[in-house]
Structure 1
Amino acid sequence: MTQPIHFSILFFRLDQRMRKRRNLKKYICAYHSKLVHMFNENDIYVSIASGKSDSLIHFLKYEPVRKYSKYILASLLLLSEGFGVPISFTADSNKKTFLNIWKKDSKDVHCTVCMDVPGYNPVTDSFDDIPQKEAKSIIDFFICHHNSKFLKKTGELAEPDSFDEFSTGAFLNSLGFLIQMYIFEFIDNAHDVIEFVQAVYEILIEYLPSNSNALNKQTQKAFRLFNRCFAPIDNISIGLEYIATAERIREIKAINRALPFFCLSQVPMFCKIPEYCSTSGTYLSEYTNYFTNCGETALLGLFCCLLYDAATQKYTTTHLKRPDPKLVAFFDKYKNPRESASLEMHNDWNKVISNRSIDDLGYASNKNQVVSGVLNMLYFIVHLTGNYVKETPKIAKLGAYASTNELSNVDLHTKLSCYITKLLSKISKNKNFTCLLSKICIGTRTDNKTDIFGLIELKYIYSQITQRTYISIQPRHSLFIIFEAIGCPFKTMELELFLLSRNYSKKKSFIEILLHEYIIQNMYKFQPMYPMNIVNNIKNTIQLVVKEDFKTMNRLHLIEPLEYIHSKSEMVCYCLMFCCKEKLNTEHPIIRFTSNILSSISLSSPCYQERVLPPLVYFDLYKTHYPYIQIDESKWSEIALGKSGCPAVFRCVLDIEAPDIFIKALDMYSKLDKNANMSNTSPFYFHMTIKAIFRCLFKNHETANAFEVLDILKRNYPENGSAICNHIILIWIVYICSQKDYPEQLIIDLFNRLEENVS
């Protein structure tokens, strides 16, 4: 009789475990959906800003709701910590939904707000009261899961207590992490912080019993929660120590640099922002009024360099004679260089740039969105620095040269270079710089005006440190780029960071783990092999995730920020490459992960298509696994054979020396290639790649993989396949002869594959 009972208990426990896994998987899928809704992708930046009329940010910033937003966010924070704040939704007779945050007795409320907010309705193409369905679903999600076991202190998604727990990235799926990120983005200043802390305290204080001696379990939990989220006054020194550490890291990175940007991640990068209306003093928050601010950020990056005082490590406008008041106000507010440009900074800069009623300044729409062009950029520079009366005729003369083709390209290049150097010398705080122009050409802007396009490179020198930057100005796009400083005392800075990291080597708390990892990440950036180390880290982490059956996908988020196109393209390529033998479908974690990366990129751009989409083609996933990517069938082969994406894919494939993956990619390439003699993007076209192919195919001193490659080339290039194969075989024979450790039999086997009478 005991055996059936024993098995019943066993099956019950197995059923409980399976149900727990199903619930966790269901929660994580829903969590990622809410994450996407709460943090909108704006080309490069992830931001809470959104043009959607039912987004959480749209709801919280609606004026009648805004004054209660502190209570709503405070309640979500408390729910994320497992504290049962009574929140409910009710409907009135007109079927309007209301959000209620109740007090402890459930008879009175902290606030009641209507969940219908005026906004643009794309269905009716008009402004209506929009039910805040997305905002409601996010709040419902917090209510539903506030007491889930996997979010508790000992649960799978709990805040990590050790580095091993931290490195899995499981905590990134917790409600606490989600709402704290959102609050961090939502709060703009110290006043907002104080109001928010008071709102949390006001809700928690209700749970204190009237008899102060009777500290019940709920009260103790409230005290612990408040002290964990906010530094108690008697423990303030620890909080200040953490802030001092972060400030010291910033100071170390700022030492002896010629420009305000230490590395590319600090440079303002274009994103989508709302148009600004100066007459009403408001942003047009509907999605139809958002634009990509590439022209604005190129100018912002340039002005940051021109107005940077390397001696004080601050921005200044005091050396300018008649600067625009808005320019002065902006650099007074953002006096210190930032780790990255926030959305608030982008919007503030747009206030400076936009809505100027001057005919010379080119905008794309409603006095917003700077049109890309060298002359247009120069007009903005002279107007912002107070030099427009004297300089405008000179720029107009350059424009006349461009419009009439009066000068040769060489003469135009010389005059333009001379003028830009003189102009920037007047404006720049640091006079020790050189200006170099290249790829100068005349073309038409998006507003149909003639302009000049090309690259402007500036090389600054300060205290024996040299740093370069360039602005690429093309007919439809402008981009500001920074290069690593030369002559910087990297070893000294790395040592200082190492000594700082030792303060947190024991990693007693979550914040100390975060600080320690932040310091280590910055140390890596001082190492000459940093880019290669990042690639190796990506490869090793993906292999670990595959080994762990994709249960620790969040490890991939802890490698480095996926901010720029090169890091995104490498991540997509290595993910698909290491998983090409897996049974993939649209719901597979790696497909969902790469889909999210691709959705953050403007795939309408041919340049971006060529950089990130080729792996989808080479691993034969583009037709079935990414249905949302709407690209004509005929374009896919053009994308796959492009001059930047194609070599990058084969570089990644050969990097891991996996012959079977290389053979699969080559088979796809040769099927798509319509050139009878093999196109110039072929991996066999480049000297270094041919060597890597040889090492990959012959790493076991066998010919099987090499012969399979020859069979593919002969089959897919029917006209000249034999000649191509003969050429490649001879190259391989030369390589073998130049090496000592390859057996002679390889030469004989390859020689026997040569075909006669082939021209």
Structure 2
Amino acid sequence: MLIRKEFIIIIGTIILCKIYCRAGISIYKDLHNQEIGDGLCIKANGSISPIRKFICEKLNLMYSMRFLSPGTDAHYSIIVIDDEKCRHSMRIESTRDYNKDTAYIKPSGEEKKEKIAETFIEQKNQEMVETAETPTEEEKEKKTTYLEDYHQTLIEMFPSSTGSLSIDTSRNDSFIKFLQLEHVSKHKIHILACLFLLAEGVDIPLKVEGSKSSPMLVLKEIIVKFEEENKTEDLKESKPEIKKEGKERKLKEGKTGSRKDSKEGEEEIKIFSISMKDDLSSRKNENSKEKKKAVPQKRAAYVINFFIDNKTNLDIREGGKYTEPKTYEEFKTGKFLNNARWLIQYYIFNHLNSEDSIIELAKEVYFMLKKCIKQKKKEKSAEEVKYLESIIDKCFVKSSDANTIKTKHRINILTTIYKESPLLNVFPFTDDVSIPGYRAIPSYNRKEDSFNVGKVYSNCVEAGLLSLFCCLAYDPETREYTTEHMGNVSPDLKGFFDMYNKPLETDTYEMHREWSKVVADLENVNIRYLKENRNELASGIINMLYIIAEITGKYSEEEESLKELSTLLEEQDNKKQNELFKKVKLYTEKLILSLSKKYSSEENSELPNRGIEVNILKMSKCLDISKEMDIFGELVITYRYLNLEGGINLSHTSRHLQIRSFPSKVNILTEEKEEEIINNKDSIENESKKTLTDFLLIHFVYKVIDGKETTSNYYKENIDVSQENNYFYPIERLFLYNTFQKVEDRIKMIYYIRGCLLEHSLEETDPWSRFLSNMIGSLPLNDFNTVQDVFFNPIYRAGFYKGFCTKVNIPIPIIDRNIYSYTAGLYYEQYIYKIRLLNRHLEFLKAHLITRGNRGCFFAAVACQIHKDTNAQFLSLLTNGITSIDPLLEIEAFLNRIDRDLPEYEAVIKPNDIWLICLNMSFRSDKFNKITTIFFDKIVIDENFITIDGTKPEYTDEDIKNAMTKFDKTRFPQTVKKHVLNLVEKNFEYARKLSYLIKKYEIFLMGIEVSE
């Protein structure tokens, strides 16, 4: 029961945070106008303004750093098992435990350090306790680096135990749990302010004291009292009062009167001394009479110690490796993403969810800075006073300057971009509200109302239904979700949209888990599931209709209509198929419209009627993956409002349901608005002093305006497969130009990025390998379509993924049976079109040459389908601009070295056959006429060759004549055919080789003639 309550609390917290982020823009103007003391306001482009975090969230930067960064070691595994004799027997066994993610620790020598968080969390905490002894030489060698500590701290601050970025976790020794403890929560603003200032390099006297089992968090007074000072001096400096709206707030002490002598003549006063233990001794488990043991907050202590340890770290100060940028060029490296300042700032504004709490934090920071300045003036440290004053300048601005044109530029950019779209009057998925994507979620038991985390599945059909019901439940007038217009829906459906009643920017794991309570393990026997425990819905339009009727409470009235469709579905008569398709279309349209929220146009209404259109495209009738008959195709629901149009497309296939939304055909940002945004951006760029927030805003504008234009400078800044030296492209920079939000995008980028680095072997310890490994770990690995898209390709087959697939086990025979030459050919053609680098092409070619594929000679099939222009470009590259065949000789040598006695290489193309393929490729353009004879000369006829009809070719005059006739009928250019026929007429050996080529290609392509 405790688990259930906690889970509900976490869900509520996440919903609140997401809603706040959507509402955040509207409060920014007011927030930056409120005074925090001494006539100062929060600076809009400063480090204590939430604008910085807001833009980083839009760029998905913290998600990338938590889940994808090379500094993270993601805990996952995947094994694929298959039975060659049974087509649908493939089984995927995968694990993904986000709670076991740790920082990646670089191996030392031949021994790898233990990659367990507990190891160095305890080590670092032990170093900080007052009783710690001087470390030995061996302990010094084991000391972790800044980046290792940074990434472990990031993981502790964003545990994200469900795969969605989150500060919440069930761990009772976590940083968030520590801040939520009853005796700590009253100090949380003060603690966060301390960490904020420590990250800025301020010498805040915060320390973890005591023993490892009983740690204490102590904050001492910043201003040190000297004995010779008047002992009766007014103590307001040590117990300050900050007035806010007529109320007084005092800094509270954990233990009052706690004083300790420091240096001779000085006296330190503790502001608070807090136990870092969750005192559970007074609590009892509901199912047990035993008291729980107190839990030392070791993870919380580790986080705090990190900021204390690094307050003077030069790597994160001005001029350091990970400093905040001073120019846009510095910004584009992305190195600031490894800065403790950025980490704590993002955390603070993820944790604080109200305007008042942000103002309270700002006041605390300002008060502490003033105290620090006063102390440093006493110590006559002019340089440190100057530095502290610069922090005040970075965070705050005079109230008289808070509403200047410069400040408004920044707010205006965000308000213009995130102004509500008119399309929201009809459709929920617009602008920054994304359509739900599928995830790996645990199975649900309806009777027990419980989840089995040991049995997970990929919920592509469930996610599609969620997208559909978001559209059906959307009330355009209130901009909220409701089921009132649907009638007597199931309690679970109503409860879901009561909980999630507003469109959220991103779907979460918790949302999908709650949604499974609506659609999983339903009693209706007509609803098909793929799992025996009635989880994982089967794809198919008829199955979808049954589910919709069931959860909306309409099954009893729709039962006869659905049975009629099911009966027609079972009919073998193809003549009735058109009747079935027509009835399914009409029934689906009627059902969807009956469940949609409607409103009528009135004289005083600002909302004219919206148009809703339902259609099903590309309908087909076939068996699904469980060998059950259904109808597959694309269900398209289109919403129209004024001149705008948007909708969703649910594409049902036998194995999968793909979801996509299509936006308005009209650009929401008009030319006038774009010009306004660009002008504001230009004004910021022209300012002499710019902050990280400014660079984020500038970058964000480039992304919004130019991000989709392939000719734009923004697009050209991204990693590019056509460029050399991609190995040195900063991975953090990659995060700035790619949000990696969608599963489909991450799948494509794995293949694309490996293609960008094909000339590099990428060992397991390589940063790129760790990044790509983490990309794989971020996917729903128990989903067949994901596995097929990521692993069933020639590049994986050839071992180019080996360095980052150490947690992946897929036997080569499974790869061979599931690589499709047509799909691979499309990828290959794109690669040829974009690449001009010979060394990368040779590696790519080798990978395809050793691939068996699902039919005949794989590479010959791929080469045949490549467009003639791309084909000419490819062969030109492989012949050094038609000047030399040296690259092809390298390929020939590579094929000669392959051990064909090994099962995985027994079907690899023979060296001689590569010359046949090149000769055939040369026929596509007459510019290769000058090297045609070279290819003819390299070919050696295999005298043991058996034709497609099972005979040996005799190469008689009649055979050769037939070959020449067949060649003359091909679609090759006339200039090429004339040249080749002229050669074979003069050279009988060339004639035999042309006949051999044509017969050989029939074998290559299993019946596909060379003319195709």
Superposition TM-score tier, normalisation by shorter sequence: 0.7 to 0.9
Partner deviation per Cα, 1:189-234 (whole Å, 9 max, x = no partner): 4465456556656766765759999998778766764664577755
1:458 is matched with which residue? 637
Task: Give the stretch that moved more between structures: 208-217 or 340-349.
Answer: 208-217
Q: Secondary structure of the residue that 1:627 maps to in structure 2?
A: coil
1:150 is matched with which residue? 315
**AA in 2 matched with 1:247:** T
Partner deviation per Cα, 1:643-689 (whole Å, 9 max, x = no partner): 64674366336521223322222223322327784137953132325
Query: CA–CA distance in 2 between the matches of 1:210 and 1:718?
Result: 76
1:590 is matched with which residue? 768
Deviation at 1:698, TM superposition (A): 4.1
* Corresponding position: 1:114 with 2:272: no
Deviation at 1:421, TM superposition (A): 0.6
Query: CA–CA distance in 2 between the matches of 1:522 and 1:302?
Result: 27
Deviation at 1:426, TM superposition (A): 2.5
- Cα 1:348–1:749 change in 2 (3 A) is closer
Q: Secondary structure of the residue that 1:480 maps to in structure 2?
A: strand
Query: CA–CA distance in 2 between the matches of 1:342 and 1:235?
Result: 39
Among 508, 513, 537, which residue is 2:718 paired with?
537
Deviation at 1:293, TM superposition (A): 5.5
2:871 is matched with which residue? 690
Task: Give the stretch that moved more between structures: 227-236 or 570-579.
Answer: 227-236
**1:53 touches 1:119 (CA, 8 Å); kept in 2?**
no
* Corresponding position: 1:79 with 2:198: yes
Task: Give the stretch that moved more between structures: 435-444 or 713-722.
Answer: 713-722
**1:42 touches 1:272 (CA, 8 Å); kept in 2?**
no
Looking at secondary structure, tell me which structure has more helix per residue: 1
Q: Secondary structure of the residue that 2:308 maps to in structure 1?
A: helix
Query: CA–CA distance in 2 between the matches of 1:686 and 1:437?
Result: 27
* Corresponding position: 1:177 with 2:345: no
Report matched runs for 1:497-536 at 5 Å. 497-506=677-686, 508-525=690-707, 527=709, 529=710, 534=715
2:469 is matched with which residue? 303
Query: CA–CA distance in 2 between the matches of 1:264 and 1:695?
Result: 45
2:739 is matched with which residue? 561
Among 659, 669, 694, which residue is 2:838 paired with?
659
1:629 is matched with which residue? 808
Q: Secondary structure of the residue that 2:649 maps to in structure 1?
A: strand
2:217 is matched with which residue? 100
Deviation at 1:725, TM superposition (A): 3.4
Query: CA–CA distance in 2 between the matches of 1:729 and 1:600?
Result: 44
- Cα 1:489–1:31 change in 2 (3 A) is closer
Query: CA–CA distance in 2 between the matches of 1:560 and 1:734?
Result: 38
Q: Secondary structure of the residue that 2:858 maps to in structure 1?
A: coil
**1:577 touches 1:653 (CA, 8 Å); kept in 2?**
no
**1:43 touches 1:602 (CA, 8 Å); kept in 2?**
no
Among 333, 340, 348, which residue is 1:168 paired with?
333
* Corresponding position: 1:729 with 2:895: no
2:616 is matched with which residue? 436
* Corresponding position: 1:671 with 2:834: no
Query: CA–CA distance in 2 between the matches of 1:623 and 1:336?
Result: 44
- Cα 1:604–1:329 change in 2 (3 A) is closer
With CA pairs under 8 Å and 6+ residues apart, which has the higher RCO, 1 or 2? 2
**1:464 touches 1:487 (CA, 8 Å); kept in 2?**
yes
Q: Secondary structure of the residue that 1:696 maps to in structure 2?
A: helix
Query: CA–CA distance in 2 between the matches of 1:180 and 1:279?
Result: 44
**1:619 touches 1:664 (CA, 8 Å); kept in 2?**
no
Query: CA–CA distance in 2 between the matches of 1:368 and 1:233?
Result: 62
2:403 is matched with which residue? 237
Partner deviation per Cα, 1:426-445 (whole Å, 9 max, x = no partner): 33353331311545557689
1:745 is matched with which residue? 930
Deviation at 1:404, TM superposition (A): 9.3
Larger Rg: 2
Q: Secondary structure of the residue that 1:432 maps to in structure 2?
A: strand
**AA in 1 matched with 2:465:** L
**1:402 touches 1:450 (CA, 8 Å); kept in 2?**
yes
Q: Number of aligned residue pairs: give it.
A: 716
**Percent of matched pairs sharing the same residue:** 21
- Cα 1:256–1:355 change in 2 (3 A) is closer
Q: Secondary structure of the residue that 1:672 maps to in structure 2?
A: coil
Deviation at 1:152, TM superposition (A): 1.5
**1:440 touches 1:455 (CA, 8 Å); kept in 2?**
no
1:251 is matched with which residue? 419
Among 220, 243, 266, which residue is 2:434 paired with?
266
TM-score by length of 2: 0.58
Query: CA–CA distance in 2 between the matches of 1:652 and 1:420?
Result: 42
Q: Secondary structure of the residue that 1:96 maps to in structure 2?
A: coil
Report matched runs for 1:332-481 at 5 Å. 340-341=505-506, 343=508, 346=511, 350=515, 353=518, 371=537, 373=539, 374=541, 377-378=544-545, 381=548, 390-391=557-558, 394-395=561-562, 398=565, 410-428=578-596, 429=598, 430-439=610-619, 454-473=633-652, 478-481=657-660
Q: Secondary structure of the residue that 1:156 maps to in structure 2?
A: coil
1:10 is matched with which residue? none
- Cα 1:235–1:685 change in 2 (3 A) is farther
**AA in 1 matched with 2:612:** N
Query: CA–CA distance in 1 between the matches of 2:190 and 2:745?
Result: 39
Partner deviation per Cα, 1:222-276 (whole Å, 9 max, x = no partner): 6764664577755543666534421211238657997444579832323467999
- Cα 1:725–1:644 change in 2 (3 A) is same
TM-score by length of 1: 0.75
Query: CA–CA distance in 1 between the matches of 2:844 and 2:829?
Result: 8
Deviation at 1:710, TM superposition (A): 6.8
Partner deviation per Cα, 1:498-547 (whole Å, 9 max, x = no partner): 345334332633222211211111112564x489985883217974664x
1:707 is matched with which residue? 888
Q: Secondary structure of the residue that 1:519 maps to in structure 2?
A: helix
Partner deviation per Cα, 1:322-343 (whole Å, 9 max, x = no partner): 48699789879988765x3153
**AA in 2 matched with 1:579:** L
Task: Give the stretch that moved more between structures: 390-399 or 604-613.
Answer: 390-399
Task: Give the stretch that moved more between structures: 576-585 or 178-187.
Answer: 576-585
Structure 2 gaps of 5+ residues are 1-140, 222-267, 286-291, 599-609, 899-906, 941-988, 1000-1012
Task: Give the stretch that moved more between structures: 584-593 or 493-502.
Answer: 493-502
